[in-house]
Amino acid sequence: MNNYDMESEALKKLSKMAEESGYIKPELYRRYEVKRGLRDLDGKGVLVGLTEIGEVHSYIMDEGEKISVPGRLIYRGIDIRDIVKGFSEDDRFGFEETAYLLLFGNLPDQNAQKEFLQLLSLHERLPEDFTRDVILKAPSKDIMNTLARSVLALYSFDENADDTSMPNVLKQCLKLIACFPSLAVYGYHAFNHYHGDQSLYIHSPRADLSIAENILAMLRPDSSYTKLEAKLLDLALVLHAEHGGGNNSSFVTHVVTSTGTDTYSAIAAAIGALKGPRHGGANIKVVQMFDDMKEKLKNWDDDEEIEHYLTQVLSKNAFDRSGLIYGIGHAVYSISDPRAVILKGYVAQLAQEKGLEDEFNLYAKVENLAPQVIEKFNTMYKTVSANVDFYSGFVYKMLNIPMEMFTPIFAISRIVGWSAHRIEEIANCGKIIRPAYKSVAPRRSYLKMDER
């Protein structure tokens, strides 16, 4: 037996042992009232902290009864719909303004906004030779891996990397917010060149462009984009910037920050959380599901045929056989996800510009039909609606953003929320976050080697 076969057989045997030793009977969670996933049986999150940064509102209590309401997303007390309406009516990009609001608690006036943009522009460009020595020399097939590795590498370029005083942490956060687009885009170009045999393009960010514009300009070979394209990407960044302290990666930021570690380690941990397909990769699944659907459907306008496909998905007989209609349903929202509602109106405009009205209409049909199909399939299921992932993947696809960049763009946006949560954890001088786990293993005696 060669070394490869020996290792394979050993791992097969040991994996089974590890899985069996790691399994805990489900009834034990009920017996000890352990709330798996930190969620109640009705889906309500377990309260583990307080925040002023973001709020997700999806229900009201009336005489002890939980009643679902249209979803609301609130940044620092301001409804996301009002934020979007404000910068849209002024025909401005909104992500930088939103970042200021989330970090500092108030909307910037013109002078504050100008000063903030100047601070960001100081850190848009990566350290000298960083792209060559860190990103291009070890390209990864997963851009989130590249992003995390690059963030950790920036530690070595910071003379005060372990200083957790507020001014230094804020400087580090601003640096990461500013350079995340370059880290992600250059990571993609390295992957595309070394693993896809494509030409290598490295465009420098421009201080006169918004973050959304810079992403498109650095990503595309000719650096061209339309105003609508940039504004829709900017909107997507605004909608993904924050989602309350309870989302997985923001909670990770609080947990890791509470240990007293450096900013780069905390943000790299958050990137690792977002990389998981249960958190940051859902819009990729939506696009893949629709690609499969378009291939299978004979008539995109036939409601009955669409319902049949969706039923097959739920029955685990279509697409990836997971039984999930991706982009439909959310852990918190039920009647509506405000991010999806806002995005949908702008998606229609871009679909018209791109000549993709038929595909947009298919998305709209699935959005309407999927909740009905789910209700028929499982009468005990709660009310569901389209979530932000339902349309965001379609947006990125229309913008010719490669699928490998979908989750990194989420990270480019959410670094703002992570930074705000890191600052909030430090400002409140909290204890190290250390939840309790109950051991349910039976007590045993140690056996000597010749007695086993």
Those residues whose C-beta lies under 8 Å from the C-beta of residue 116, and which sit 6 or more positions away, are: 96, 99, 100, 108
| Burial letters 12-45, b for 16+ CB under 10 A, else e | eeeeeeeeeeeeeeeeeeeeeeeeeeeeeeeeeb
411, 147 contact by CB (below 8 A): yes
Which amino acid, 105?
A: G
Which amino acid, 214?
A: N
Check residue 279 and report its DSSP letter.
T
Q: Which two three-digit tokens encode residue 189?
A: 């170009």
195 is catalytic: no
389 is catalytic: yes
Instruction: State which H helix or E strand residue 67 sits in.
Output: strand 65-75
284, 407 contact by CB (below 8 A): yes
Bridge partners for 66 per DSSP: 61
DSSP 3-state of 277 = coil
From the list 262, 330, 337, 421, the catalytic residue is: 330
Q: What are phi and psi of 70, to 5 degrees?
A: -55, 135
From the list 123, 243, 389, 421, the catalytic residue is: 389
- Helix segments in 23-50, DSSP class H: 26-31
Rounded CA Rg of the chain: 24
Distance (Å, whole) CA 396 – CA 235:
12
Q: Which two three-digit tokens encode residue 180?
A: 């995340």
**Where in the sequence numbering do the catalytic residues fall?**
330, 389
